[in-house]
Amino acid sequence: MKFTKMHGIGNDYVYVNCFQEKVDNPSEVAKFVSDRHFGVGSDGLILIKPSQIADCEMDMYNLDGSQGAMCGNGIRCVAKYVYDYGIVPKTTLRIATKSGIKELNLTVENGKVSLVRVNMGSPILEASKIPVVSDQSQAVNQPIKVNGHTYYFTGVSMGNPHAVVYLDDVDNLDIEKIGPAFEKHPVFPDRVNTEFVKVIDRKTLKMRVWERGSGETLACGTGACAVAVSSILNNLTGEEVTVKLLGGDLKIHWDRLENLVYMTGPATTVFDGEITLP
């Protein structure tokens, strides 16, 4: 199987061009290629497919083989792939995902995409639609008991579920322990991606993320959007923020009038390869 290794500020996936390749059992392939010792090494697998309703379709799998509904860092790389490889020679394009069609604008330098702006759509705040178990219609600063401690989270879906938790220190965080405890907590019926956030100032947030099905990743685009929405809802920042992640920065703007979230960030191609599947 031919593939291309790409990343969005360190959130790396194995990309397969399904205009040319056929992947029969993507969940199993995701588990195999994601292994950093026995496979290629990645946070998961992303299939780039033809679409009847958009310029192409993105189909994303976590490293545990579970299918995700949306991938912010991934969709920027999909746009870069289809432009750079001449499949969709347009700088404004639409990509179908499991959470609807997203529109993207590309910045091209020396014939290659360097920066991508994604209209990520409207955040979903209704607890039942995230889903989050709550006795309120929205889970804003909701208390939750994890490993014997009480934390407060805000639930946001960007097509996939996120729990945003504010802490004074995200550097000395035992994320390997607290991450899985949030991910599998019964308050989140479909599991959850958890972002641990420190507010730097009203325009800057610093975050780490424990992803559903992938563990700690260096970045999470939908997570950065969820963090921005939560921080604006909690009046901790203005509408435009820089979210600083381990792998780099993303610019997020929640246009409250349109109720649309825009994410701007880079997309990087690392190498093309070929792998024999088991």
> According to CB under 6 A, which residues from 153 to 192 bind ligand API?
160
> According to CB under 6 A, which residues from 49 to 68 bind ligand API?
62, 68
User: Minimal distance in Å, beta carbon 23 to ligand API?
Assistant: 18
Measured from the CB atom, the residue of 4 and 160 that comes closer to ligand API is 160
DSSP run (H or E) holding 48: strand 44-49
Measured from the CB atom, the residue of 20 and 46 that comes closer to ligand API is 46
SS3 content of the chain, % helix, strand, coil (to 5): 15, 45, 40
Q: Clarify whether 77 is annotated catalytic.
A: no
DSSP state at residue 78? H
Tokens 């291309």 appear where?
A: 4
Measured from the CB atom, the residue of 64 and 240 that comes closer to ligand API is 64
Q: Clarify whether 225 is annotated catalytic.
A: no
Residue from 194, 217, 230, 268 in contact with ligand API (CB under 6 A): 217
Q: What are phi and psi of 196, to 5 degrees?
A: -105, 120
Q: Which residues have a Cβ under 8 Å from the Cβ of 243 and sit 6 or more positions away?
A: 205, 206, 207, 224, 227, 228, 249, 250, 251, 252
Tokens 């499991």 appear where?
A: 98
Measured from the CB atom, the residue of 39 and 159 that comes closer to ligand API is 159
Which of the stretches 51-59, 82-90, 132-140, 206-214 binds ligand API when contact is defined by CB under 6 A? 206-214
Is 62 annotated in a binding site? The answer is yes
> Taking a C-beta distance cutoff of 8 angstroms, is the pair 211, 176 a contact?
no
User: If we measure between CA atoms, which residue out of 193, 189, 186, 191 comes closest to residue 207?
Assistant: 193
HEC secondary structure over 99-153: CEEEEEEEEEECCEEEEEEEECCCCECEHHHCCCCCCCCECCCEEEEECCEEEEE
Q: Does 194 bind ligand API (CB under 6 A)?
A: no
User: If we measure between CA atoms, which residue out of 235, 273, 274 comes closest to residue 254?
Assistant: 235
> Which residue of the set 56, 71, 77, 225 is catalytic?
71
Q: Does 42 bind ligand API (CB under 6 A)?
A: no
Which of the stretches 27-35, 144-152, 205-213, 250-258 binds ligand API when contact is defined by CB under 6 A? 205-213
Residues at the binding site for substrate are 11, 62, 72-73, 160, 193, 211-212, 221-222
What is the binding site for ligand API (CB under 6 A)? 11, 62, 68, 71-74, 160, 193, 211-214, 217, 220-223
Residue ranges for the known binding site are 11, 62, 72-73, 160, 193, 211-212, 221-222
Active site residues: 71, 220
